[in-house]
Amino acid sequence: MSEPVFLPAGDTALVVQFGEAVDAAVNRRVRHLALKLRESEQKGIVDIVPTIRSLMVHYDPLETGAAALEAAISEMLHHEDAGEDAYRLWSIPVCYEGDCAPDLENVAREMELDTAEVVRRHAAEPLEIFMMGFLPGFPYLGLLPEEFDIPRLFEPRVKVPARSISIAVRQTTVYTVECPGGWHLIGRTPVEFFDPFRTQPILVAAGDRIRFEPVPAREYDSLRKAVEAGDYETVSEEVAQ
């Protein structure tokens, strides 16, 4: 594994960069370091912000400095555990038909596949959540097979429907609320990934994995009604390594 690079971010933050590429192993190193830092209760740390390939550590310069933090982090990395942690696996129904998938045919043409094969490949394996961001409860998942290495839309949409499943550059996401967006929409889930009225508003977390389960439009409508009525429970299980 490559050695991480320490980069200053002004006089109150330090970035630990683990690589240049989007990679599952690199992302696990980011998450492991974030966990170790939180558990260490290192003096002066104000906030810890993990991303796909780097970790930003915000600190109070009156209590610590970049050099002291770099030394402490380097010591943690020296004892780094490369193994995988246990994770939660979620089963998420998705409709890949009609209005739920406005870009599916264009994506299929780009990939030189039929739409059924695009769906099969998208849902073939559980995908790992690299990070949360952009919107409340919004997960970035990957990596999809290489044929999904499709750039974002040239012109983003003004409105993306909530719960839309999207793809771009070998990643897939779930738009948790209606908003503008520039990814290709290939499906929609009836499940709310963000609900401010739930005890736990955000459904999933970085490090979890999602298995997308294709469902026909009629079943999607039934599931959506069940979600709205509070009669649907999302299926998940703890997977030990």
| Amino acid at site 209 | R
The model's pTM is: 0.87
Which residues are paired to 73 by β-bridges? none
pLDDT band at 14 (very low <50, low <70, confident <90, very high): very high
* Separation in Å, CA 53 to CA 25, 59, 112, 134, 196: 9, 20, 31, 16, 29
* Whether residue 178 has pLDDT greater than 70: yes
Pick from 15-24, 40-49, 223-232 the range whose average pLDDT is largest.
223-232
> What pLDDT sits at residue 155?
95
> What pLDDT sits at residue 78?
83
Residue pLDDT, tens place only, 111-167:
999 999 999 999 999 999 999 988 999 999 999 999 999 999 999 999 999 999 999
Apex 214 CA angle, 211 and 220, nearest 5? 115
Euclidean distance between CA atoms 224 and 200, whole angstroms: 19
Lowest model confidence (mean pLDDT) among 85-89, 99-103, 215-219, 230-234: 85-89
Structure tokens at 211: 């298995």
In a 13 Å sphere around the CA of 118, the CA atoms on its Cβ side amount to 27
* Whether residue 228 has pLDDT greater than 80: yes
Phi, psi of 139 (to 5 degrees): -95, 140
Strand, coil or helix: what is 114? coil
* Whether residue 83 has pLDDT greater than 60: no
Residue pLDDT, tens place only, 24-81:
889 999 999 998 999 998 899 999 999 999 999 999 999 999 999 999 999 999 877 6
* Whether residue 170 has pLDDT greater than 60: yes
> What pLDDT sits at residue 82?
55
Beta strands of 103-161 (E only): which ranges? Answer: 127-132, 139-142, 157-160
| pLDDT: which is higher, 83 or 48 | 48
Euclidean distance between CA atoms 216 and 95, whole angstroms: 6
* Separation in Å, CA 91 to CA 12, 34, 130, 233: 40, 26, 17, 11
> Do residues 130 and 24 lie in contact, with contact meaning Cβ atoms separated by under 8 Å?
yes
Place of tokens 């948790």: 176
Mean pLDDT, range 209-229, rounded to an integer: 98
Share of the chain above pLDDT 90, in %: 85
pLDDT band at 21 (very low <50, low <70, confident <90, very high): confident
